[in-house]
Chains A and B, each alone.
Chain A
């Protein structure tokens, strides 16, 4: 069965520093997608970054990068130059590649990131 594990319930980082949020996954699929979402206190889920299992290069989106290590089944999110507005819950998610079936996202339990001045 597919599963996403986020072992850090909470993380602290000082403003302008980089932080890594851990995510490991379990799947027997050969093709899948990995996502990170940010959820501020307002509740909405904001898409941050996507990594395909066949992508050879790590995904980057501005200050976000995904450290994808396929052999270890890890997809850690790296936020560079943290800002106070980065304080939020962060969810790692995986979409199993099931052709012609539902686009089912499986989420981890999340990591609460707090950025302090």
Chain B
């Protein structure tokens, strides 16, 4: 496989469920990101990892819990979500955290629906 992959592509869960989103990058990158894309809103950065260490957490509710076991894998653990958390969750990776020119490459996203 090449690029950035995400599983599952679609997820429907109840508010009491616990689920995890998985992201894997095959690009040899050192930085990985979680974004949330809600309808009619700009993309929101949720978490940033560099070399498996979290470097950014943009005031994301604790019901979202990221995990980065190695530089190729990133998880987003979900529990007791709310209907307003329904969105497209995008994972991205970049070579480094260098600012400016480092292009981020995105996965296909997980379409999450919370009932």
Given contacts A43-B88, A109-B42, contact A102 B55 (CB under 8 A): yes
Contact with B along A3-33 (1 / 0, CB 8 A): 0100000000000000000000000000111
Q: Is there a chain B Cβ closer than 8 Å to A90's Cβ? A: no
The chain B residue with its CB closest to the CB of A93 is: B43
- Minimum distance in angstroms from B49 CB to a CB of chain A: 10
| B42 and A103 contacting across the interface, CB-CB below 8 Å | no
In the docked arrangement, what's the CA distance between A112 and B97, Å?
30
Counting chain A residues whose Cβ lies within 8 A of the other chain, the interface size class is 20 to 34
Interface of A is mostly: loop
Most A CB contacts (10 A, CB to CB) among B40, B56, B101, B106 go to: B101
Residues of chain A within 8 A (CB-CB) of B94 are 103
User: Cβ of A52 and Cβ of B42 under 8 Å apart?
Assistant: no
CB-CB contacts below 8 Å: B27-81 with A: 31, 40-43, 45, 48, 50, 55-56
Within 8 A of B (CB), among A86-117: 91, 93, 95-110
Scoring A residues 60 to 104 as 1 if CB is less than 8 Å from chain B, else 0, what string do you get? 000000000000000000000000000000010101111111111
**The residue from A43, A99, A102 contacting B108, defined by CB atoms under 8 A apart:** A43
Is A103's CB under 8 angstroms from B48's CB?
A: yes
Taking a contact as CB atoms closer than 8 A, the residue among A32, A33, A43, A99 that contacts B111 in the complex is A43
Query: What B residues does A56 contact at CB under 8 A?
Result: none
Chain A residues in the interface with B (C-beta under 8 A):
4, 31-33, 35, 37, 42-47, 50, 52-53, 91, 93, 95-110
Q: List the interface of chain B (C-beta within 8 A of A).
A: 9, 31, 40-43, 45, 48, 50, 55-56, 88, 90, 92, 94, 96-109, 111
A-B contact pairs, 16 of them (CB 8 A): A32-B100, A37-B106, A43-B88, A45-B92, A45-B109, A47-B103, A50-B103, A97-B99, A102-B48, A103-B48, A103-B94, A103-B96, A105-B43, A109-B41, A109-B42, A110-B42
